[in-house]
């Protein structure tokens, strides 16, 4: 009886959590987009839902239980899990979702990722394939630089850019498996793609980081990003690119990456 009551309380609490927190930030004729900031590192998680089929994909889930409850509450069928890349803060929720298709790019193995993903993208840097979620169709672009197998998702009115491209800046390239030249190529590739798609599509980054003006939006339009993103603006000038101060940091993570590179050279 006590167990039942406690269980009931937990269920009530999680439902309250879901209804308070999971926010539909975009609804089109074909798709719902839910977004939530989860964990202590400002990570943004995204759920894309096909309205026709109710099939859904969750991108970079931090908490599996949270997204399973969102899907259960709304009657969505969670079919796929997509990882923009395999850093811990983007892949933490995968453990509880291994009965779904869990997709990651095969090149993430270069930084030591060995699962629990169960499906792999294999296409080369700065190319894309298309993949469906129900009736929704997305381009999966390989955009290495922050990690060896980072991918960016584009389609149906959204760009989900992970840690390749934040709203005002881009991801760092000094972690193990990162590559500053690959990052520049990937951003050039993405910029030309962004110039082709409608400017009112929205960009959904992997972290909610503040912009230069102090605002801290969770998404902005493609047009706004093309005009304001510091990394994109520096792409055409070597000096501007090399003086970006957010490509590398002097912190504990950089120190860890130095040790990992030394160990990889010994092996
Ligand atoms: Zn990352």
Distance 257 CA to ligand 1 centre (A): 13
Q: Which of 17-21, 62-66, 209-213 has the lowest mean pLDDT?
A: 17-21
pLDDT band (50, 70, 90) for residue 21: low
100-124 confidence digits (pLDDT tens): 999 999 999 999 999 899 999 999 9
The architecture of the domain spanning 5-266 is 4-Layer Sandwich (3.60)
Contacts 24+ apart (CB under 8 A), 253-257: 253/175, 254/174, 254/175, 256/176, 257/174, 257/175, 257/176, 257/178
- Going from the Cα of 182 to the center of ligand 1, the distance in angstroms, rounded, reads 15
Distance CA 84, CA 21 (A): 23
Check: CB of residue 148 under 8 Å from CB of residue 87: no
Distance 130 CA to ligand 1 centre (A): 23
Alpha-carbon Rg for the chain, nearest whole angstrom, is 19
- Inter-residue contact 61 to 81 (CB < 8 Å): yes
**How far is ligand 1, taken at its centre, from the CA of residue 237, in Å?**
25
Question: What's the pLDDT at 23?
Answer: 87
Is pLDDT above 80 for 5?
no
Residue 1, pLDDT > 80, answer no
> Residue 178 C-alpha to ligand 1 middle, in angstroms?
10
CA of 191 to the centre of ligand 1 (A): 20
Q: What is the pLDDT of residue 200?
A: 98
Mean pLDDT, the chain, integer: 93
Ligand 1 centre and the CA of 146: distance in Å?
Answer: 7
Asked if 85 contacts 151 with a C-beta cutoff of 8 angstroms, the reply is yes
Residue 15 corresponds to which tokens in the numbers above? 């439902």
If pLDDT is split at 50, 70 and 90, which confidence band does 11 have?
very low
- CA of 28 relative to ligand 1 center, distance in Å: 29
Q: Residue 17: what pLDDT?
A: 52
CA atoms within 13 A on the CB side of 195: 8
Contact at 8 Å (CB) between 61 and 67?
yes
**Ligand 1 geometric centre to CA of 90 (Å):** 7
Q: How close is the Cα of 147 to the center of ligand 1, in Å?
A: 7
Residue 13 pLDDT > 60? no
Confidence of residue 265 (pLDDT cuts 50, 70, 90): confident
**In this predicted model, which residue has the larger pLDDT, 128 or 251?**
128
Mean pLDDT over 82-99 rounds to 97
CA 153–ligand 1 middle distance (angstroms): 15
């Amino acid at each position: 009886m006590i167990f039942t009551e406690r269980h009931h309380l937990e269920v009530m609490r999680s439902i309250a959590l879901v209804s308070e927190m999971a926010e539909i930030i975009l609804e089109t004729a074909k798709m719902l987009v839910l977004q939530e900031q989860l964990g202590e590192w400002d990570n943004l998680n995204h759920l894309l839902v096909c309205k026709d089929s109710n099939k859904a994909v969750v991108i970079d889930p931090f908490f599996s239980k949270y997204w399973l409850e969102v899907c259960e509450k709304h009657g969505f069928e969670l079919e796929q899990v997509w990882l923009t890349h395999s850093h811990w803060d983007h892949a933490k929720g995968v453990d509880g979702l291994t009965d779904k298709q869990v997709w990651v790019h095969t090149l993430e193995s270069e930084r030591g990722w060995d699962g629990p993903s169960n499906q792999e993208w294999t296409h080369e840097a700065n190319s894309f394939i298309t993949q469906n979620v129900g009736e929704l169709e997305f381009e999966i672009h390989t955009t290495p630089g922050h990690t060896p197998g980072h991918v960016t998702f584009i389609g149906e009115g959204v760009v989900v850019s992970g840690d390749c491209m934040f709203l005002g800046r881009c991801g760092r390239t000094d972690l193990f498996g990162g590559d500053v030249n690959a990052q520049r190529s990937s951003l050039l590739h993405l910029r030309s793609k962004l110039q082709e798609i409608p400017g009112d599509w929205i960009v959904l980054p992997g972290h909610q980081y503040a912009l230069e003006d102090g605002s801290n939006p969770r998404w902005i339009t493609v047009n706004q990003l093309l005009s304001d993103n510091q990394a994109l603006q520096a792409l055409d000038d070597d000096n501007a690119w090399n003086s970006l101060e957010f490509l590398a940091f002097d912190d504990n993570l950089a120190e860890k990456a130095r040790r990992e590179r030394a160990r990889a050279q010994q092996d």
